[in-house]
Structure 1
Amino acid sequence: MNDSERRLALGSFLRNLRSSISPRDVGLPTGSRRRTRGLRREEVAQLASIGPSWYTRLEQGRDSSPSVSVLESLASALKLTPNERRHLFLLSGESLPPQLNGEEEIISPSVQMMLDELNPNPAYVIGRKLDFLAWNRAAEAVFTISEPSPPHDYNLMWRQFTDPVWREGLENWEYVSQRIVAEFRTSRARYLQDVSFKRLIDDLKRESTDFVRMWQHHEASSTLDGYKKLCHPTLGAMEFEHITLQFPNDPDKKIMIYMPHTATKSRLENYLMESI
């Protein structure tokens, strides 16, 4: 879209957000004579510490260029989700700045229910630092995620480079590892001040010369999807088609799904039945 269309879309986006928020949600009195659904323009301006007339220009799609600090203030005032924040910056023509620190990553019961319904397809959710956040029984059977691996107990990157079982069990370990490192680098760029990333990177550098080598290459992120062949210590050779899905309201979270080939699926189903 051109600049005029983008400004109009930004104004519409802000109006819809404002109308969907109750004054009670942001600590404002509701009052008995309120005619406006949601917040008033001047209330949003007050919460974001910007001028009411300037905020009105934004909603009306008039020529204006909000700074990054103003956009961050609006995102905070309107309690935007990560995806809404990204959309706000996109419509404003600004690049999304790095996050200082990530919020706690929480998985809802409905997501866990969805993972359970995917059995016998192994599936798990990873967060911004590639931590395992949730998984199903099939994923546990294949990857033994619940067994801690100190000091980064439930981190995919840490296991990829320090766990010999993971290394020996993946047919194309080098190829997959390069893509995991590229994905991790992209995520880390959005959280440059998050000290937990630095701790993980420093520990990986100490423990794995392969990680040091790949980390220095600065490869662009590319898909992890496609054919995967694993060698399981109990179930033997296993073949999967792997796909990655993002959460629409939080792209830092990803669902990794492994769809087993026919023979693998049969063995997995029998293994899961026997382990009940």
Structure 2
Amino acid sequence: MAVSTAKSLGDFLKSRRTRLDPASFGFSGRRRTPGLRREEVAQRANISPTWYTWLEQGRGGGPSAEVLERIAGALMLTDAEREHLFMLGLGRPPEVRYRRVDGVSPRLQRLLDSLEASPAIIKTATWDVVAWNRAAAVVLTDYDALPPGQRNILHFLFRNPAVRAQQHDWDSIARFVVGAFRADVARAGLTSEAAELVAELRGMSPEFDALWQENEVWSSGNGDGVKRLVHPMLGQIELEYSAFAVDGRPDLNMIVYTPLDPEVTRRIRALAAQR
């Protein structure tokens, strides 16, 4: 670890340590400085006091991800602080923490709703759709009509004949979706959590089973950026799509579809306004 980076890590650890109230953690005794002592942080993190002292002093080499996780817990770091700790200590962000998602914040929903003619959704790492706007409901899928457990993109693609019929090139889309899903699940550390969904799809869709056995992996950025649909009311349409990470929630992804034809834009806006 470079000297300047080690010093930045040490300064950050000290600043987080000194803001904590010892009494809240059951530590007592008179203190000359605010916050927890170094040995108290080490005790909470179950690491050597000497090793922790060296980290704050900018020496002792680079810490492991496991040690940083323990320290983050000991110091009660927020998600943003935990990420900063890993960037200083390892030069990379920590692995994504999976959280069950039942919806999104009002602020994020207002952002989706402001896109009146651009279908937009937010999906999890296991490709469950947890938020959408009216344009998405009229162009992609009427998510409101489905119970939460059935709002999964792979379910739509492999088990819903109406959704399949709308795809301009179902074979290519299915191959891409399975490969990207596999990569997202592994990146989020959710292989075991996704096992039930995978088993269900393999049992009910021979096409999914065949693609899953191919073990292909795709990045979400490998798509051609254009989605082509045969819509029952809009006819054949083309939509550019862009994917965005949700700030503070790396396990969530927002996808926005933008119509390429101004007339399609007008008609989507009109259909969405009728909902």
Which of 194, 206, 209 is the aligned partner of 1:209?
206
Query: What SS does the aligned partner of 1:221 have?
Result: coil
1:103 offset after TM fit, Å? Answer: 2.3
CA pair 129-231 structure 1, distance change in 2 beyond 3 A: same
1-side partners of 2:17 and 2:171: how far apart?
A: 49
1-side partners of 2:113 and 2:80: how far apart?
A: 26
1:218 offset after TM fit, Å? Answer: 2.5
> Aligned partner of 1:248: which letter?
D
TM-score normalised over the length of structure 2: 0.82
| Map of 2:21 onto structure 1 | 23
| Map of 2:255 onto structure 1 | 256
1-side partners of 2:85 and 2:40: how far apart?
A: 19
2-side partners of 1:210 and 1:252: how far apart?
A: 27
CA pair 176-86 structure 1, distance change in 2 beyond 3 A: farther
1:61 matched to 2:81? The reply is no
| Map of 1:270 onto structure 2 | 270
2-side partners of 1:41 and 1:8: how far apart?
A: 16
1:245 offset after TM fit, Å? Answer: 0.1
1:8 offset after TM fit, Å? Answer: 3.4
1:166 offset after TM fit, Å? Answer: 1.6
1:80 offset after TM fit, Å? Answer: 4.2
> Aligned partner of 1:239: which letter?
E
1:242 matched to 2:238? The reply is no
1:194 offset after TM fit, Å? Answer: 5.9
Deviations 1:115-137, CA, capped at 9 Å, x for gaps: 11122211110012111111111
Deviations 1:55-102, CA, capped at 9 Å, x for gaps: 222122212343343222123233445565455445434988877x83
2-side partners of 1:238 and 1:32: how far apart?
A: 71
2-side partners of 1:166 and 1:34: how far apart?
A: 67
Report which stretch shifted further, 217-226 or 88-97: 88-97
Contact 1:81–1:249 (Cα < 8 Å) also in 2: no
> Aligned partner of 1:237: which letter?
Q
2-side partners of 1:160 and 1:12: how far apart?
A: 50
1:114 offset after TM fit, Å? Answer: 0.9
Contact 2:83–2:94 (Cα < 8 Å) also in 1: no
Query: What SS does the aligned partner of 1:246 have?
Result: strand
2-side partners of 1:254 and 1:30: how far apart?
A: 45
CA pair 129-13 structure 1, distance change in 2 beyond 3 A: farther
Report which stretch shifted further, 125-134 or 216-225: 216-225
1:158 matched to 2:158? The reply is no
1:72 matched to 2:87? The reply is no
1:172 matched to 2:169? The reply is yes
Query: What SS does the aligned partner of 1:220 have?
Result: coil
- Could you tell me which runs of 5 or more consecutive residues in structure 2 were left unpaired when the two chains were aligned: none
1:108 matched to 2:105? The reply is yes
| Map of 2:145 onto structure 1 | 147
1:256 offset after TM fit, Å? Answer: 0.5
1:7 offset after TM fit, Å? Answer: 2.8
2-side partners of 1:26 and 1:231: how far apart?
A: 60
Which of 121, 125, 128 is the aligned partner of 2:125?
128
Contact 1:122–1:258 (Cα < 8 Å) also in 2: yes
1:221 offset after TM fit, Å? Answer: 2.3
> Percent of pairs identical after alignment?
35
1:183 matched to 2:144? The reply is no
Which of 160, 178, 196 is the aligned partner of 1:199?
196
CA pair 87-24 structure 1, distance change in 2 beyond 3 A: same
1:200 offset after TM fit, Å? Answer: 0.3
1-side partners of 2:158 and 2:60: how far apart?
A: 51
CA RMSD across the alignment: 3.3
Deviations 1:150-179, CA, capped at 9 Å, x for gaps: 9x4111122121111221111122222222
